[in-house]
Chains A and B, each alone.
Chain A
Amino acid sequence: MIEEIRNKAKELLETKTVDCVIGYEPATDNLTSRPVFIYEPSQVNRLIFDETCVHNLSKYLINRRYKPTGIVAKPCDTRGINLLLNEKQLRRENLFIIGVVCSGIRKVRFNQIENSMPTKCQYCSQHTPVIYDFLVGEPVTEAPTHNYSDITEIENMSPAQRKAFWSEHFDRCIRCYGCRQVCAGCYCYECFGDELDPLWVGIRIAPGENWVWNTVRAFHLSARCIACGECEHICPVNIPLMLVNRKLEKDTLHLFDFEPGIDTEIVPPFATYKKEDKLGTGE
């Protein structure tokens, strides 16, 4: 698997098809992995792929939108690429996607690999990349299933319980904006969180402002979040952001029969208007 990735990366760089391949290399703990940008064919042996390759590298494509770039992508990451293509943020002709078949990765932290899978993998049924130029691994044909049992649990809470649940989590948010910076769907030139005129949310790192930040961040990703789970994975204070994201994903699926990033061509619900669009809360 790793050999295939290295050989393809080498070929792409040698033939100047791309001038950089974004992939994974071992991290400094000699246990997990980290993103790497390979510019020289002689450097391709740094590339690896294993169960610790958690990062969604599609975010990096935004900075390289005008440069021919190769990328190693898991199925969830390819949904990020599709999202960006769909929203006209990338040019397909500038991309070479090395898709990797994935049956789930492991929950990782620096110096630590857990035996369990991260939340995103537990609910994922997309094991084959949705878009690729070169495929590593045998494609899996599996009907996508949807399991929202974790969301139903939150939905069944009373509004007061739900408020208490989220207050407990949002209160400890430090507004590091890690969730935004790591997100493939967050590419605004100026985020509402930074905007001064109009001022949507103040700089105070306090419960009220944290609620505004976390809810508006989530709403901006409704029908757009591709469930890569990076926001939740990197949150330094362990806020279960995927619960909010998956609630919106569930509603989008029920209201519009739409899954973000699965297809490059279908116009996303918030980029169009149909008279028959349902109104409601998704129930």
Chain B
Amino acid sequence: MTKVITKEDLLSWLRQLAEKYAIIAPVTSNGVTLYKSVGSSEIDKINLNFSKTELSPKNWFFPPSETLFTIVKDELPRIIPASVDREAILFGLRPCDAKGIALIDKAFLAEPADVFYQEKRDKTTLIGLACLSPCLECFCTSVGGGPADLTHLDILLTETAEGYITQATTEKGKQLLTGAPRQEKEIIPPVLPSLNLILAEGITELMPRVFNDAYWDRVADRCIHCNICAYVCPCCYCFDIRDYVSKGKIERVRSWESCQSPGFTRLAGGYDPRPTKGAHFRQRWYHKLLYFPPIFGDIKCTGCGRCVRSCPVNIDIREIITDVQRMKV
């Protein structure tokens, strides 16, 4: 017997949860599906049949911009740290996106933890939706994930004709599920889709050998150095910090930044350690495939395929990995 929740019950449960929690869920409007905050009266707007959101759910923990603290000019300067007022439920994550969050955790929660990230992370429960019809550009199974991988989720829902199979993996998830109106049913779980495989194994060992290859310059010819790949990526986390100064108030603001933007490594005086298009371009792949793995144990890619889909000039990480494998000397 399996515990399932019907679609109607799921929505009314979410409606009920929305009274206490902030609900962040996929909503489609203007032709794009994005994770948005939905109130209890807006639960019907949640898109349960999306394939993949345009932007990843990292936005909830690592927003495009956030104020880290504010200094107000009083008799004595006061520092007001930013804080999260409500517990949240991030609903409808694909397992690949949950892995993206787990990868950012490694960098942001390592000591000393990023308190702004940690606060939001601690106050959020992750409810995933198994991915039964992956996109053609997806390759999660090649990088250690899977369409129904529940490793990084609190709860996983898998859609069947009878309703959603519910699985809780953490204490947080189990507790939340106790309030859900579920039924015991005899259910055959759906067959999980198989995905195209690429040979990502051993890529970290190969990367140092091809660092100076002309290959990077040739692929960079095509790159237009926008920030799309980094901003749609569920595990890219570079940022920039500036102060907004206005009368009597200073706000320290953190915003997304990307290794592909023109001034990323430009130093005072104008020197840039990554002076060429190729060197600039190469950084993205070396961070993902070589620099991150030895420190945090995984390559920094979830196989979600967003960068593949959104790149204006078809720079395809699957092709890059395959090309590097072929360059093996």
The judgment on whether A and B are partners is yes
Residue A200 lies at the interface, judged by CB distance under 8 Å to chain B: no
In contact, A194 and B65 (Cβ under 8 angstroms): no
**CB of A160 within 8 A of chain B?**
no
Q: A172-193: contact bitstring with B at CB < 8 Å (1 yes, 0 no)?
A: 1011111011100000001100
- Residue-wise interface mask of B (295-317) relative to A, using a CB-CB cutoff of 8 A (1 in contact, 0 not): 00000000000001111111010
Interface membership of chain A positions 188-225, coded 1 if the CB is closer than 8 angstroms to chain B and 0 otherwise: 00110010000000111110000000000000000000
Contacts of A27 in B (CB 8 A): 314, 316
Q: Is B253 an interface residue (CB 8 A)?
A: yes
Q: Would you call B222 and A110 a contact (CB within 8 A)?
A: no
Known: A203-B240, A236-B55. A111 touches B64 (CB 8 A): no
Chain A residue contacts of B253, Cβ below 8 A: 202-204
Q: A174-B231, A175-B64, A203-B255 are in contact. Are A34 and B226 (CB under 8 A)?
A: no
Give Cα distance in the complex from A55 to B312, angstroms.
Answer: 8
- Contact between B137 and A111, CB atoms less than 8 A apart: yes
A194 to B258, CA, bound (A): 13
Please tell me if B262 contacts chain A, counting CB pairs below 8 Å.
Answer: yes
Q: Which residues of A contact B106 (CB under 8 A)?
A: none
Q: Given A63-B277, A175-B64, A236-B55, is A34 in contact with B314 using a C-beta cutoff of 8 Å?
A: yes
Q: Are B55 and A194 in contact (CB under 8 A)?
A: no
Note all chain B residues with C-beta closer than 8 A to A203: 65, 240, 242, 253, 255, 257
* B: interface residue count bin: 35 or more
Residue of B nearest to A203 (CB): B255
* A239 to chain B: closest residue by CB: B30
Max count, chain A CB within 10 A of own CB: residue among B224, B262, B277, B310:
B224
At the interface, yes or no: B221 with Cβ under 8 Å from chain A?
A: yes
Q: In the complex, which of the residues B31, B34, B227, B311 contacts A177, with contact meaning CB atoms closer than 8 Å? A: B227
Within 8 A of A (CB), among B1-50: 30-32, 34
Task: Kindly state the separation between the CA atoms of A168 and B225 in the bound complex, as whole angstroms.
Answer: 27
Q: Are the C-beta atoms of B226 and A178 separated by less than 8 Å?
A: yes
Q: Indicate if the CB atoms of B226 and A28 lie closer than 8 Å.
A: no
Q: Check: A74 CB closer than 8 A to any chain B CB.
A: no
Bound: A32/B257 CA distance, A: 29
Q: How far is the CA of A184 from the CA of B221 in the complex (A)?
A: 15
Which of A29, A178, A205 is B228 in contact with, Cβ under 8 Å? A178
Known: A28-B316, A34-B313. A177 touches B261 (CB 8 A): yes
A110 touches B314 (CB 8 A): yes
Q: Cα distance A191–B227 when bound, in Å?
A: 15
A59 within 8 A of B: yes
C-alpha gap A234/B307 in the complex (Å)? 12
Chain A to chain B contacts (Cβ below 8 Å), 19 pairs: A27-B314, A27-B316, A28-B314, A28-B316, A28-B319, A29-B136, A29-B137, A60-B221, A111-B137, A174-B64, A178-B228, A178-B312, A194-B263, A203-B240, A203-B257, A204-B255, A206-B64, A237-B34, A238-B31
* Nearest 7 interchain pairs by C-beta: A205-B64, A34-B314, A178-B226, A234-B312, A181-B226, A176-B227, A27-B314
Given A111-B309, A194-B262, 9 extra CB contacts under 8 A? A27-B314, A63-B277, A110-B308, A174-B55, A194-B263, A202-B253, A206-B65, A234-B228, A234-B312
Residues of chain A having any CB pair with chain B under 8 Å: 27-29, 32, 34-37, 55, 59-60, 63, 109-111, 168-169, 172, 174-178, 180-182, 190-191, 194, 202-206, 230, 233-234, 236-238
